[in-house]
Amino acid sequence: MTILSIAATDGAGSFDAHLFEPKKKPAGAVVLIQEIFGINAAMQEAAAQIADLGFFVLAPDLFWRQQRHVNLTDKSQEEWNQAFALMQGFDQEKGIADLKATLAAARTLPGANGKAGTIGYCLGGLLAFRMAIESDADINISYYGVALDNFLGDLDRIHAPLIVHIAGQDAYFAPEGRARLVEAAKGHQQVRTYVYPGADHAFARINGIHWDARAAWIANGRSAEALATALE
């Protein structure tokens, strides 16, 4: 793993992105979008696993405008409080701009094949959903994003594959909102929604408090297949 510096497009400075490289090249690239806990051990392990599938992975430090190199866990209330404060102070529009800059950098990495997508978890799941609407990514994968039903009016702007993994018992995304999302996606040529019954929010967070091995393995398998199809 190495650290790259990427210039922000608004002139505010530059931010770091963790780079994980595949063993074989040329290869496609994946922008990994963090949870509210920053680029912590769980995100780094997820990035390493995706790189092991044969992709470059760039994980940008999205909270850099508030605090650089946030590294929290879900194991204490103090860390939860810090994470929620960072999420509340996060400017999503600037975050989307940073992700677009990261996506552009990912396409031109030495050894990259020019194809690039996103995969995001929690806060990152929401941002990956938005990237499907607002960017030219070749694929986007959203894990348990919250409030995705606020963007259903924009589904006609999605022209590349979007995979949406939904926790069947998500404490942060109301059942009514989840149902609206699933219904709206029916028949869309590019959007696939998958619901994991009994799984709570963050079911795929490695070593997380809501880790659900069955749901995570099934979801990750679907993600791996979709990435291979879109980026190779």
Residue 200 has phi, psi (to 5 degrees) of -95, 170
Alpha carbons 181 and 158: distance in angstroms, whole number: 14
CATH number reported for the structural domain that contains residue 199 in this entry: 3.40.50.1820
Mean pLDDT of 149-158: 97
Give pLDDT, residue 145. 98
Give pLDDT, residue 207. 95
pTM: 0.98
Range of the domain at 163: 2-231
Mean pLDDT of 123-137: 98
Average pLDDT, the chain: 98
Give pLDDT, residue 163. 98
Give pLDDT, residue 76. 96
Residue 170 annotated to the active site: yes
The pLDDT tens digits for 29-64 are 999 999 999 999 999 999 999 999 999 999 999 999
What radius of gyration, in Å, describes the C-alpha atoms of the chain?
16
Alpha carbons 20 and 103: distance in angstroms, whole number: 14
Q: Of 170, 200, 210, 212, which one is the catalytic site residue?
A: 170
User: Where is 113: in which H helix or E strand?
Assistant: strand 112-121
Among candidate residues 190, 92, 104, 181, the one with its CA nearest the CA of residue 144: 181
Give pLDDT, residue 221. 98
Instruction: Read off the pLDDT band of 28 (50, 70, 90).
Output: very high
The pLDDT tens digits for 156-215 are 999 999 999 999 999 999 999 999 999 999 999 999 999 999 999 999 999 999 999 999
The pLDDT tens digits for 84-107 are 999 999 999 999 999 999 999 999
Alpha carbons 189 and 158: distance in angstroms, whole number: 9
Give pLDDT, residue 161. 98
Instruction: Read off the pLDDT band of 6 (50, 70, 90).
Output: very high
Alpha carbons 52 and 5: distance in angstroms, whole number: 23
Give pLDDT, residue 230. 98
Give pLDDT, residue 192. 98
Residue 69 annotated to the active site: no
Q: Of 18, 165, 201, 210, which one is the catalytic site residue?
A: 201
Instruction: Read off the pLDDT band of 121 (50, 70, 90).
Output: very high
Give pLDDT, residue 111. 98
Number of domains in the chain: 1
Residue 113 has phi, psi (to 5 degrees) of -95, 5
Give pLDDT, residue 19. 98
